[in-house]
Amino acid sequence: MSESTCKQKQCVVCQIPFHILSPFANEQICQTCRAVFQINMEPPLKKSLELLRTITVEGNGFVEIDGNEFIVEGTSGLGYRFEFQNPYKMGVECYRSKDAALNPENELCLHPCIDLDDEIIEIPIGDLVFTYAMTLSNDMDCAEEIETLENCISFRDSISFSPTQKEWNEAVDTKRNDAAQQRFGGPFLVDEDDDIWFHEEFDFPEDFEVVNEEVLGMNDDSTVAGLSERSQERIDRFMLDLERS
């Protein structure tokens, strides 16, 4: 967007000039300050926001701002929305394209977990946003070091290089359902040789003895019929320890 098509104003919070991109925008506070919830402007924070301003649309950069979220396009063609989560991390959403990220209604997304190398040292919010913006906008290169980004790109490529909304949503929905099943212990692949356990009746051995529940426990020497002598000894020791306690 050229400077001739948007007015420039100085933010009352960070005191940094910014371009007013919408006639309905608050002309006193820049979108960047509103996005990172900053009111008190310390010198290190102001310096970090000056750096961030160089890459946002308010400074004729490439990072879009929507409320408290930032949007970028990766070199892969994927779109990302990310927002402040804590002093060490941004929450990230991955969409099939930047247009989908800008208009997320009816669009499903992935949630790659991306952590900084050092989560002990708190850095100014502007530096944090800048780091994530540069990482996500260069996702193809950064995927070599960040597995979750590589997974997002591979997932998209498994559908098509430019999936439609329907193709992407169906694939994401399937991925979520599979993950939900695995979280609760399934699905499991059944070996053909083991499949007989589900379809054939088990033949009990001829000497198998069914213990009468009414009689069970009356004879201390035969607590459970069919146990090995070693197992019976373990039970006896356990019962003895229990009585002593």
Q: pTM surpassing 0.75?
A: no
User: What is the per-residue pLDDT for 52?
Assistant: 87
Query: How much is the average pLDDT of 40-44?
Result: 63
User: What is the per-residue pLDDT for 229?
Assistant: 65
> Is the per-residue pLDDT at 1 higher than 70?
no
Spatial CB neighbours of 107, under 8 Å, sequence gap ≥ 6: 95, 96, 100, 101, 165, 168, 169
Domain ranges of the chain: 3-183, 207-244
Q: How many residues does the chain have?
A: 245
User: What is the per-residue pLDDT for 26?
Assistant: 59
> Is the per-residue pLDDT at 143 higher than 80?
yes
> Is the per-residue pLDDT at 116 higher than 70?
yes
Out of 14-18, 108-112, 235-239, least confident range: 235-239
Q: Which two tokens stand for residue 170?
A: 């169906």
User: What is the per-residue pLDDT for 196?
Assistant: 44
User: What is the per-residue pLDDT for 197?
Assistant: 42
